[in-house]
Structure 1
Amino acid sequence: MRTDNLILLKTVSSHYQLELSFFTHLHDLGLIEIEVMEQSPYIHENQMHNLERMIRMHHDLEVNPEGIDVVFNLLQKIEHLKKDLMAAQNRLRLYEN
């Protein structure tokens, strides 16, 4: 199998000085996807932005994985509400003109 666009989780773990269990916990909560190839866990590079946000929350704010899950769920809801508001505003503009 090809590992293009995949980052070895052990590398991420050592770079951010976190235990692999932290990433496994995030995976168990459904926050990240871990791919196992040749008995090594990998993460796709397109997940790194959100993963880095989670790591900053954990390091800087001392938020545990369950708290990170709550925060990310709330952020997703906010984004959904923003899109709904934008759509409603666009429809309203049609009637105003």
Structure 2
Amino acid sequence: MNREDLIATEEICVRYKVEHQFISSLFESGIIEIVKIEEVEYIPQEHLSEFEKMMRLHRDLDINLEGLEAISHLLRQIRQLQKDNRRLRNRLGLYE
């Protein structure tokens, strides 16, 4: 993973005006990934959209960490079901 693909958590705290504890809580819950390089924590760019989504849910709708965990889990399940559905439709297309 290139450093260009990583964003320092301190920069995210400043840019999005969130506490580092919130980012740590999301990491501990398995919602986002944190990479530590030379004692500096980074969030991979591919996890930034998930962070933004959870931050908005937390701020705008006042959803607590447990609620964010449940939402994240359900969204992952939906993505997996959509992927399975797409795969099955493609297989079915072979027989039509």
TM-score by length of 1: 0.82
Instruction: Give the share of equivalent positions with the same residue, in percent.
Output: 35
Offset of residue 21 of structure 1: 0.4
Name the structure 1 match of 2:48.
48
The 2-side partners of 1:8 and 1:59 are apart by 21
Deviations 1:48-91 (A, max 9, x none): 11111111111111112221111011011112222223333344
Show structure 2 runs of 5+ residues with no match.
none
Name the structure 2 match of 1:19.
19
RMSD: 1.9
Q: Which amino acid aligns with 1:87?
A: R
Name the structure 1 match of 2:71.
71
Q: Which has the larger radius of gyration?
A: 1
Name the structure 2 match of 1:3.
3
Cα pair distance change 1:3/1:82, threshold 3 Å: closer
